[in-house]
Amino acid sequence: MAIQATRREFLASTVTTVGTGVWFSTQPTQIWGASPNQRVNVASIGVGGKGSSDTDDAAKFGQIVAICDIDDQRLKQKAAQYPDAKTYHDFRVLLSEMGDEVDAVTVSTADHTHAAASVSAMRMGKHVYCQKPLTHSPSEARLMRETAQKYNVVTQMGNQGTAHDGFRDGVEMIRSGAIGDVREVHVWTNRPYSDWKAGKMYWKQSPQVTSRPLETPPVPDHIKWDLWLGPAPVRPYHPAYHPHDWRGWWDFGTGALGDMACHTANLPFMGLHLGLPSRVSSKSSKVNLETYPAWATITYEFPARGDLPPVKLIWYEGSENGKRNLPQQKMPGNQVPTDSGALLIGEKGRLYSPGDSGDQQQLEVKGQVTTSEQTLERLGSDVGPDQNQKREWIQAIQGHSNPLSNFDYASVLTEAMLLGNLAVRTGKAIDYDGRSGKVTNLSEAAALVSPSRRVGWEL
């Protein structure tokens, strides 16, 4: 089910290099592939946690023919739902053995194996739906973009708010000039905390955990530990990593920034065509070698894009001593900031989006509000945004318009946001050349753009 050459025309018409960054348009474009009635055979890589719902959502619009997980307990549970699907522990074996039986794959593994699974699938001509953040490192994000373009496959990143009609309303509102030229954006999250007053975390990292566990329990029989490690450096098994808290470890996850920026920064990023930043700096609590810090404030400086002015985007995460790390800005109507949200400050007013997904907006403007022209397709609300993202992806494989959070766009969002973790880890400002994908002023950060991979897992 290869997508034909018109995809190249789409890329040629929507990718623009501006200054030191890359600016991507997200205009809907028709792409042509299989018949709208042709069944799409899907293999699901990672079927526990978010992978469970990703598999079930894909099954509503395609046919699950294979499932893969390194955890036998999760694999057997999903196999009971899809008895006709072949089961695998190693996605490389799945792709090799299934061959032409698979048209598309979902990838819902830990962050550090997203690129390995997705790139392998795309190189075989498979369409890919990959969970956010798209990758573990900035260089992997670029590789995902380049591979998707080279093999003309239909792609989608799992930041489901993008599929919400309210999000698309917001993008068009920003682009219409409702609040005028925007030069300052604030985006915040409560992560890694679920209850910051009580010190409860979604996953454990600093200050609760700052070093590796000393115990080395045996690997449970149902876990294929070497496959879970994938490209990451070898370390002993411990339940501190699998099945849940891997996100707080440098080697496996991308911290609060990776977890939430592809959601919460998505609205301003798409609405303002932000592209890649030229400079990123940060402040944070003490940084250790193993886990992400308790809080961080990261400042991204984006260059002008055509006639759009430069933008400074500031990201806030975590808390310290029971106090949330939040922007010192008044919300419209003097509201108390929600647990996560975004505030865009324009020359004519402000736009406040409470929550993670950017699907709600509150305007505070001077004078009459500009009417927004509808340029983005609406998906409707007969199913939720998570299912809508899979439907949009499957329908694109069958010849409908390109998914909005395709890798051409999502890889730039991921690459840009993950540069913040490099600034946090080094404790220094980094200058970034968006054309080459290189840090130009700091060798220690340059090495982190493309970290080494374990032998056998090279890309």
Give, in degrees to the nearest 5, the angle at Cα 201 between 448 and 184: 60
Mean pLDDT of 348-358: 96
Average pLDDT of the segment spanning 439-445: 95
Average pLDDT on 331-338 reads 90
Q: Can you give the pLDDT at residue 26? A: 59
- The model carries a pTM of 0.93
Separation between Cα atoms, residue 284 and residue 403, nearest integer Å: 36
Q: Which candidate, 307, 410, 411, 305, places its Cα nearest to that of 17?
A: 305
Q: Give the separation between CA 320 and CA 216, rounded to whole angstroms.
A: 31
Find the mean pLDDT for residues 377-386. Answer: 94
> Rounded to an integer, what distance in angstroms lies between the CA atom of residue 124 and that of residue 117?
11
The CATH number of 165-204+252-378+419-449, from 2.60.120.560, 3.30.360.10, 3.30.1780.10, 3.40.470.10, is 3.30.360.10
> Average pLDDT for residues 378-401, to the nearest whole number?
95
Whole-number Cα distances in Å, 89 to 44, 59, 70, 241, 252: 11, 20, 5, 18, 19
CB 275 within 8 A of CB 22: yes
Chain centroid offset of residue 442 CA: 25
In DSSP notation, 200-222 reads: EESS--TTT--S--S--PPPPTT
> What is the tens place of the pLDDT at every residue in 315-330?
999 998 888 999 999 8
- Reply yes or no on whether the pLDDT at 29 is more than 90: no
Q: What is the pLDDT of residue 21?
A: 56
Which SS3 state, helix, strand or coil, does residue 381 take? Answer: coil
Q: What pLDDT digit, counting tens, does each position of 156-202 carry?
A: 999 999 999 999 999 999 999 999 999 999 999 999 988 888 888 99
pLDDT at 11: 29
Q: How many residues can be counted in the chain? A: 459
- Average pLDDT for 198-215: 93
Q: Is the pLDDT of residue 96 over 60?
A: yes
Residue 22: per-residue pLDDT: 61
User: Could you check whether the bond before residue 277 is cis, i.e. omega within 30 degrees of 0?
Assistant: no
CA trace torsion 379, 380, 386, 391 (10° rounding) = -50
Res 258 pLDDT > 90: yes
Q: Where are the domains of the chain?
A: 6-164+380-417, 165-204+252-378+419-449
β-bridge partners, 324: 319
90 vs 67: CA distance, rounded Å? 10
pLDDT confidence of 368, banded at 50, 70, 90? confident
pLDDT of residue 3 exceeding 60: no
pLDDT for residue 9 is more than 80: no
Residue 38: pLDDT band (50, 70, 90) is: confident
C-alpha Rg value of the chain to the nearest Å = 21
Residue 196, pLDDT score: 81
Sheet holding 41-45, edge to edge: 86-88, 63-68, 41-45, 104-107, 127-131, 155-158
Cα 189 from Cα 263, distance rounded (Å): 10
Q: Which CATH class is domain 6-164+380-417?
A: alpha beta
Q: For 247-277, b where at least 16 C-beta lie within 10 A, e where not — what string? A: bbbbbbbbbbbbbbbbbbbbbbbbbbbbbbb
